[in-house]
Structure 1
């Protein structure tokens, strides 16, 4: 059975920057949890960031540029928290690899977990297409990353992968 790294906030844990969750209710997620397929992880808490914390956004480039040391992640007060978020990305990768995850379901919009869109770095509420640092790093290491809005697509991919494993094992 395929394993999936999933953002803790999507599973109802109040770990987002503002102390809230972003619970994603799904029968399939509940079944996957019962089947012990989910590796529930909050990269930001794993990296030592607190809840609540100030909002943070990628500034001066992309997630890939942050990982390469050519852009920053700043909190809304201007404090550079790049190293915390880069550590968060590496810890997410480590959790995914340790759990043998081929897929990840991450919270979109986050400078860590965003996989389709992130905030534009201006703290104005404007979003742009892009990845967070964990999503970028996971993809660089061959893990397929999905946003919560892509849950139906993830379910199809996991079902197809499970069927391939059954055929390969038979």
Structure 2
């Protein structure tokens, strides 16, 4: 049975920049939690950022807060720790929060801090994908379920 790295905020943990969560209520996620397949992780907190914290966006390969602070190092550290955790626990699948500068799988904010989304990946999602881990956003839960079923039937 495969373990799944899941963004802590999707599990209801108040770790987002605004001190909130984005708890995902879903029967399959509840089942995975009961089966002890879920490994909760927040790369931003793991990278040393506080909660709450100023919102950050990727701008010209740097992660910068709305107040102009460069937090790229913290985001990179969190991404490295996510990959290390996946390697240590042989995790090959991740369910991450879309649009996050860490976890965004298909889109992120454009760096202007004006609420504009663009195609792209957050630092953690990109690092995991490059390492061969299958990354899905909460908007792709059916695709993750299918990928897990294929992996477990092989």
Q: TM-score, normalised by structure 1?
A: 0.89
Segments ≥4 residues shifted beyond 6 Å: none
Match of 1:101, SS state, is coil
Matched, 1:32 2:32: yes
Distance in structure 1 (CA, Å) of the matches to 2:50 and 2:85: 19
Q: Residues 6-155 of structure 1 correspond to what in structure 2 (within 5 A)?
A: 6-60=6-60, 71-155=61-145
How far the C-alpha of 1:3 sits from its partner, in A, is 1.2
Give me the whole-angstrom Cα distance separating, in 1, the residues matched to 2:105 and 2:151.
Answer: 21
Larger radius of gyration: 1
Any stretches of 5+ residues in structure 2 without a counterpart? none
TM-align CA RMSD? 0.7
- Write the distance in 2 (CA, Å) between the matches of 1:130 and 1:2: 27
Question: What TM-score do you get using the length of structure 2 for normalisation?
Answer: 0.98
| Aligned mates of 1:160, 1:25 — CA distance in 2 | 24
